Structure 1
């Protein structure tokens, strides 16, 4: 594949985006992998021979030697990032932080955000949303409060404002200790009623200064500069069915999962939008799942996914063409597909439900739908025919060797 590529998941996440990005980076020269949404909750698995890594904040092209740029749309958690760098070093990646650049405007996710996220999810009890417990939603929510001039007692995005907020800390603040300290002081005071006062701001300031010294921080149109040097692969996190605008609330992510952020970062430059799907449907945690089937779950054991304390259980079912079309429409259309897990057998696909998919109240409607299932002997041929999209990447196993990047037909 030539030119820039935007990789986006068309399901509830866990479609195989990491392996697809790795395959693209191994197949042809790529200047940089650009992350364009999400944060430390990403879990993209890449297997190369005897090496396996679950990518969280580093781009999934790292084992292919491709640098990563975390754009302003990514939430950066420095403590987790340092741990991931150590794990990559253990796999033979020399000085992983050397391969990383970060936009100065990217928001910081701190231990305070993480604790607040978990406290809220714990309080929901059996009505949990299925959060990963990594502070993603809390980081985004707090960043909204100053812009909206929120005051104690206001309700912003269905959450009560519990204190006086301040400006949200960013990666760029890590180079300016006085600014960072003021922002972290305000953050700690704001969340004290929810998480207590166990976080020492001075310790965080010291840690983040070390972080700033270890990574390259960028300003201005870094993505444009990188794009003019050569092909970029934009790596999305989560899946479109979890998108904050197009997913099924409240079981969504505080993130724009569609290609919109990547397209904005590219400006006028063209990119191929590559939507990723498994040959069967999966979901991690709570929320509607019309094609869920315990038989599918038991037939295809998951090597790299399990029940999460906050996220909930791993679930599986038949491929859902209704939701695939919903995801493609939410993306404003896509150019091609990547199909993973082609080693699965005895597959079915839902071609319709017992009622049409409405434009409102999707969660309630999906909770009580009966799908029409048909056999799916050849997923690639079926998807190309019924979605009218070429399949340009295929994966028939977990290892890079199981992936093929196909040459698109010339028009």
Structure 2
């Protein structure tokens, strides 16, 4: 099949998990490589027999026997959350998920201290909260930027070094948030992380190089391009590179030719956003009418919001990523049952009509200014019509996979998914 990189072009929750599950079940696929984010990911996969799992760190192809998961160095690995996820998979009949998992020794560890810091900092923002899953993702990255000895997966193989680094992290947390929530003692945390090292194969970068030569690999992204740390609508973003960049870096390091992997962009037939931040096409009526059973409002993440398809935002996502080879469109069953759905073709901002947003190099000040403009934007709509045809027309990109439900059997490959682009041959 060739290597494929799966990226969400929106604010997340577009259906990356169900797309990856389909690719792996249609296979053959050797492994799923996770290349950004951490335990805050929520990639829902529902099987034809009704079994459902929300994949966070394991690859969303894990239900397919033999498909491995590799957590690359760009992942933030939470051993405690990973153990809980493995338990749920075991209850669903997947007993060997941990046996099929490898983790890069250079990946950062997310700990209970990061999680507590995340929640304390977000709570302190009050009404100005940025939106968070409360899993410690941003704190893991921020701590590592100022502390070269931040704990990493490889430290789990050295109990003495692990305890020292966890102690430094705990002390930082207590100094930074003296009234923060209680956290586990270092020995308990270290014991759990050492047990993780005894159960999971911890590897060097060369492992991925070999893995890429055993067969086709699916690179599974987390969150969405519109939440990207550099190109998203700051400050309502994630501390993660959500574009194709990390996956393509890993491929280049392994000696794969530039452009050798197929870029697959995922979007819903309508727009959604979880938590605060600009959402130009939001429609309270759609939010009320189209609840998502797998994306509920949460204490930290906030409300699940629904709106009409936003071609302006999606064009921006395509521009900042450099484009895709094909699109996977999900929730077409919903679109087919809702003739009232529309597509936003342009914004009106301060009397100006805008059909395309500027996509420049990383600049958080510019992104913050863009966010300010988007909060004043008003959508200019047209009827959605037949969703997949409209999407191809307004984005000038082929739809190669259509999804009419959560299970792999509800997917329809079009325009030769097995032959499109550079890699699916």
SS of residue matched to 2:377: coil
- 1:314 is the counterpart of 2:290: no
Match of 1:77 in 2: 78
Matches within 5 A, 1:328-347: 328-344=318-334, 345-346=338-339, 347=341
- 1:293 is the counterpart of 2:294: no
SS of residue matched to 1:62: coil
Match of 2:362 in 1: none
**Structure 2 residue ranges without an equivalent (≥5):** 360-365
Query: Which range moved further: 21-30 or 389-398?
Result: 389-398
CA distance in 1, matches of 2:43, 2:113: 25
TM-score (norm 2): 0.90
The count of aligned residue pairs is: 391
Task: State the shift of 1:410 in Å.
Answer: 6.2
SS of residue matched to 1:115: helix
Task: State the shift of 1:87 in Å.
Answer: 0.1
Match of 1:403 in 2: 411
Match of 1:163 in 2: none
Match of 1:89 in 2: 90
Per-residue deviation, residues 185-233 of structure 1 (Å, max 9, x unmatched):
1111111121377431111111111110000111022222111111100
Task: State the shift of 1:282 in Å.
Answer: 0.2
Q: 1:181 to 1:30 in 2, by over 3 A?
A: same
**Structure 1 residue ranges without an equivalent (≥5):** 148-166
> Paired residue for 1:384, among 387, 392, 400?
392
Query: Which range moved further: 325-334 or 231-240?
Result: 325-334
CA distance in 1, matches of 2:127, 2:395: 37
Match of 2:315 in 1: 325
Query: Which range moved further: 179-188 or 354-363?
Result: 354-363
CA distance in 2, matches of 1:311, 1:133: 7
CA distance in 1, matches of 2:386, 2:40: 33
CA distance in 2, matches of 1:207, 1:55: 21
Match of 1:255 in 2: 240
Task: State the shift of 1:331 in Å.
Answer: 0.8
Task: State the shift of 1:245 in Å.
Answer: 0.5
Q: Say whether the 8 Å CA contact 1:273–1:335 is kept in structure 2.
A: yes
SS of residue matched to 1:349: strand
CA distance in 2, matches of 1:56, 1:260: 20
Per-residue deviation, residues 347-383 of structure 1 (Å, max 9, x unmatched):
2100001133356311100001111111111111112
Q: Say whether the 8 Å CA contact 1:188–1:199 is kept in structure 2.
A: no
SS of residue matched to 2:400: strand
> Paired residue for 1:212, among 197, 204, 215?
197
Q: 1:351 to 1:300 in 2, by over 3 A?
A: same
CA distance in 1, matches of 2:205, 2:273: 37
Q: 1:196 to 1:342 in 2, by over 3 A?
A: closer
Q: 1:369 to 1:122 in 2, by over 3 A?
A: same
Query: Which range moved further: 368-377 or 217-226?
Result: 217-226
Per-residue deviation, residues 140-160 of structure 1 (Å, max 9, x unmatched):
00000035xxxxxxxxxxxxx
Matches within 5 A, 1:2-401: 2-49=1-48, 50-65=50-65, 66-146=67-147, 167-193=149-175, 194=177, 195=180, 198-267=183-252, 268-269=256-257, 270-344=260-334, 345-346=338-339, 347-354=341-348, 355=352, 356=354, 357-358=357-358, 360=366, 361-401=369-409
Query: Which range moved further: 391-400 or 188-197?
Result: 188-197
Q: Say whether the 8 Å CA contact 2:316–2:358 is kept in structure 1.
A: no
Q: Say whether the 8 Å CA contact 1:98–1:215 is kept in structure 2.
A: yes
Calculate the aligned-residue CA RMSD, in Å.
1.4
SS of residue matched to 1:301: coil
Query: Which range moved further: 295-304 or 115-124?
Result: 295-304
CA distance in 2, matches of 1:410, 1:335: 8
Match of 1:160 in 2: none
SS of residue matched to 1:204: helix
Q: 1:134 to 1:227 in 2, by over 3 A?
A: same
